Amino acid sequence: MAFGRRNFFDAVATWRFSAVLAILSGGVALGQEGGEMRRVADIFSPLSRPSEMILEPTVLVLLTSLGIFLVVFFMLVYVVWKFRRRGPADDEREPPQVYGSNNIELAWTVIPCLIVFVLVLVTARSIVEIQKAPMPADALKVRLVGHQWWWEVHYPELGIVTANEIHVPVSTRDGKRRPTEIILESADVIHSFWVPQLAGKTDLIPNRSNRTWIEPFRTGTFFGNCAEYCGTQHANMLLRVIVQEPEEFDRWVANQKQMPAAPASALAKQGRADFDAISCINCHSVDGTVADGVFGPDLTKLMTRQTIGAGVAPLTSETLRAWLVDPQEMKPGCNMPDMQLTEPQLDSIVAYLETLK
């Protein structure tokens, strides 16, 4: 299926199913900087080329299965109805004892074989199309490293490091393609990248480099979960893919490359000193400071992100403070311990962190 052309089945499946799902699930909401917040995702509303490519064999197998189901279901109902025992009179004689029929067996073997044959051909072609889709040389490259329970995000060619959010430019159906190639690695256990409207899932496996790609053609913030059980807080290892207009994306890149301004207020300065002195720097890194830890997310541009704790709460002053008071309250079992900060330390460090934008 060529990018941009959608056939009848896709249209039917997509709009009707999505409409039903949207009604049932409360629809979409608008978020401030991420554009449309596409919290409710379903695989029948693909907004990216790979997930569109997945939809074709999906609809085929769904309709085939529906057809088989209806045929067999009605056969079952018919047989139970027509040949039910009608009363004691029916017990006097046994029905004709039929042992089988080679012709019928042949028929209901050959037909499933043919169905399977068609499914195999369609599927094989789809697998190759998606897995071996050629990437333009200037495709954006992202390297995603899974951790228990957050996502480390690198843009190797742009020199950007962030966490839990991937920003990409939107593609268009005609004109300039802007796919993003995502390399998937893991620092500990197996995780899985799944943002249904953008692509099928691919696992992040330690000691192995996997590759997937997305090519969204709508802006907005897409929500995804880690899709391979990875321990205590697997449920809260959330990912956002923020698809932006090219100009907005470029502005974001420029901002990410820029070091945050040095803290101005006395409180923030004190906060930086506290941050550097307390063991925060063992796990976290902040560009331009002594902090270069690798176990926790890079905090250089913390305040540009939408959430804290890999999606466990939206990022605000209050949630930032609450996180520092005790991360175990907000994300029990996560790897950041309660740092036992005093009130003054909390004030200063929050003030400092709020300058990281």
CB of 101 to another protein, least distance (A): 7
The encoded tokens of residue 191 equal 């995780």
**352: amino acid identity, one letter:** Y
Q: Which CB sits closer to another protein, 131 or 172?
A: 131
What is the nearest approach in angstroms of another protein to the Cβ of residue 10? 13
Question: Please, which of residues 60-79 interact with another protein by CB under 8 A?
Answer: 61-62, 64-65, 68-69, 72-73, 75-76, 79
**Residue whose token pair is 């608008």:** 30
- Which residue in 14, 192, 300, 345 binds another protein (CB under 8 A)? 192
Contacts 24+ apart (CB under 8 A), 138-142: 139/178, 139/179, 139/180, 139/181, 139/213, 140/168, 140/169, 140/178, 140/179, 140/180, 140/181, 141/180, 141/181, 141/182, 141/183, 142/166, 142/168, 142/180, 142/181, 142/182, 142/183
Q: How far is the CB of 353 from another protein (least distance, A)?
A: 24
Q: How far apart are CA 96 and CA 119, in angstroms?
A: 39
230 lines the binding site for another protein (CB under 8 A): yes
Residues 148-167 that bind another protein (CB under 8 A): 148
Considering only residues 108 through 147, tell me which ones interact with another protein, judged by CB under 8 A. 108-109, 112-113, 116, 119-120, 123-124, 126-128, 130-132
Q: Could you say which residues in the range 37-56 bind another protein, by CB under 8 A?
A: 39-44, 51, 53-54
If one asks whether residue 202 binds another protein (CB under 8 A), the answer comes out as yes
| 326 exposure class (CB count in 10 Å sphere: 0-12, 13-18, 19+) | middle
Size of the residue set binding another protein (CB under 8 A) = 97
- From the list 6, 141, 177, 201, which residue makes contact with another protein (rule: CB under 8 A)? 201
* Least CB distance to another protein at residue 22 (A): 8
From 7, 172, 232, 255, residue interacting with another protein (rule: CB under 8 A): 232
What is the chain's length? 357
- The DSSP string of 275-302 is HHHSTHHHH-B-TTSS-B-SSS-B-TTG
